[in-house]
Amino acid sequence: MKYNCIRNSDSPEVMRARVKHGIAAYGIYVALMQLLEEDEDHKLSKDYSMISYEMRVDVSVVQSVVEDFDLFEVEEEYFYSKELSDTIEQARKVSEARARAGRAGGAAKARNFVANAKESSSKCQANATNSLANATNSLANATEILANAKESSSKCQANARKNVANATNSLANATNSLANATEILANASESLANAKQMPESKESSPNPSKNIYSVPTEREDNIKLSSPSSARTKKSKPKEFTICHKGRQIFEKYYQELYDSAYYWQPKDAKAMNSILKKISFARSHKTVPLPIDDESLLKALEEFLRRIDKTWIMNNFSVNKIDSQYNEIVSEMKNHRQNVTDNGNNTKTGWKAPDHKDTSAYRSGFGVAVGK
């Protein structure tokens, strides 16, 4: 049963019923209590014949259990159990109290929930309003930045193009300057090398201030630079060229006569020209009767030496550098062809025009007639 209100089997009322009707009386009592609990009003009609039929017991025994032992409260048409009714009423009151408390608690919780919801809603609305305002400001700033960026982009692009053009020009100028500096350095290095290679002359020349072995004060192909102001304030002295530069002029003039074309002079040609002049000076000074080695004598000897070259390979590759590298071979070739030189100065083997010598012995004496003879 839901409600625990059945009397024990040894209670006084139940014992009296058991004494009269046996243990069946307790069973009828319990069955009646279950029927009362299941009834909506918790009351049963005094229709004992129906009850006895359902329980399959005698009608008189059912009536006796209900009315004779104070187990039930009997009215005119119904009977009920006071213990069951009191227990059910007490349970109802407890349930109602709990319901009221639950409803009160629920209402308080509901109020708190509503209050919290309102507060949260207010905060959310405030935050949403602030977020909307911030988003609006951000959009305005982004729009302004975009407009400024477009304007700046145009200016930056123009400046960038200008900077690229300036950088390109600067790079080209720097490249040209580097090339010029490299060429100047090469020329200076060759001049220094030539100066170190030339020993001092043991013999004094007719013009001691200008000797093949002296270190040139400037390269033959260098141009002295002077500022416009200095050119205006003082008179410049006549240009004095080195023997190497004069040798270059002789070579270029002869090259023009041979090939009807200008010779492209290179820095290495200056070194080679110095070397050729040194070799001619050496040959003249080591003759049985030494010949003069002043600048004028050496330059005349150089011109006659160039005009005497009859080596086919050299003529096909005529350059200062080649003549310098093949100097000994060229001299040997000239000596081998001496017998072919006639009194009028023509070479019978090749037909090349020989220089104007006084006679064959003049040539044998060292590329030219001595000064004063």
Most confident of 174-183, 222-231, 296-305: 296-305
- pLDDT tens digits, residue range 313-342? 788 889 999 999 999 989 888 888 765 554
Q: Work out the percent of the chain whose per-residue pLDDT is above 70.
A: 71
Instruction: Please report, for the chain, the start and end positions of each structural domain, with discontinuous segments joined by +.
Output: 12-80, 198-364
Query: pTM for the complete prediction?
Result: 0.34
Reported residue count of the chain is: 373
Q: Mean pLDDT across the stretch 208-230?
A: 43
Least confident of 74-83, 128-137, 298-307: 128-137
Is a pLDDT exceeding 50 seen at residue 204? no
Least confident of 14-23, 61-70, 134-143: 134-143
182 pLDDT band (50/70/90 cuts)?
Answer: low
